Amino acid sequence: MEFTQRIDGLIGEEKYIKMLETKDLSRLLVVSDSHGETPALKSIIKNFGKTCDALIFCGDGLCDIARILNNYNLDEELKNSIPHVIALVRGNCDPSSYPVTKEFFITAPDSQALKVNGQNIMIFHGHKEGVKYGINALDFAKRDENCKTFFYGHTHVARELHKGDFTFINPGSCSYPRSGQPPSFAIATVGKTFISTSFIKINYESADKRFSTWQPF
């Protein structure tokens, strides 16, 4: 499996990106704010990536994505688990690009559009939109009037918010959570007419029960 990056920022072979656009049902592995904790991100991918069609990374940890892409061919379990499509954005702690190899740099746009099963999804980190101070649905809607679902990060607080026709999903931070939450990420199941989100918390002190579903408060 080879990863290349398109001009619009999506990473993956064209055939898998096209398949994602028209499937009847897809699963998205949504992660954010790993902040250099590559083993944490790698563990999530190894345990959940195999059953997901795409990895959505909401920023602040571009280096972790690059390290995984650099090493996945040396780790058979990781190689067989990493989703075929990766959509990522730049966080406030990320550079605009990061080397995977001497020849291959990945670039991280400020926002990333993704079509899944006919539904338009937009990905932001959120620092430029001031998400720490609240979410104005109209500000997001101005980016793409056909988009109703937005994934974002930055706050390190897992949350699913519905405002009118719009849905905003933050998976939390897989490494440095805030507001008393555990480290977490999310899996979004996308159908033709719906998106269902499951949040998963991480207990790094337990090998037997490291991952479990939970509902953010």
Among residues 190, 207, 145, the alpha carbon closest in space to that of 30 is found at 190
Residue 2 has pLDDT above 80, yes or no: no
The CATH topology of domain 14-214 is: Purple Acid Phosphatase; chain A, domain 2 (3.60.21)
Write out pLDDT tens, residues 90-149: 999 999 999 999 889 999 999 999 999 999 999 999 999 899 998 876 566 666 768 999
Write out pLDDT tens, residues 23-63: 999 999 999 999 999 999 999 999 999 999 999 999 999 99
pTM of structure: 0.95
Q: Give me the residue spans of the domains in the chain.
A: 14-214
What is residue 208's predicted lDDT score, i.e. its pLDDT? 74
What is residue 211's predicted lDDT score, i.e. its pLDDT? 96
Residue 9 has pLDDT above 90, yes or no: yes
- State whether the Cα torsion 38-40-43-49 is positive or negative: negative
Whether the Cβ atoms of residue 91 and residue 127 lie closer than 8 Å to each other: yes
Query: Which band of pLDDT confidence, cut at 50, 70 and 90, is reported for residue 73?
Result: confident
Whether the Cβ atoms of residue 64 and residue 93 lie closer than 8 Å to each other: no
What is residue 7's predicted lDDT score, i.e. its pLDDT? 94
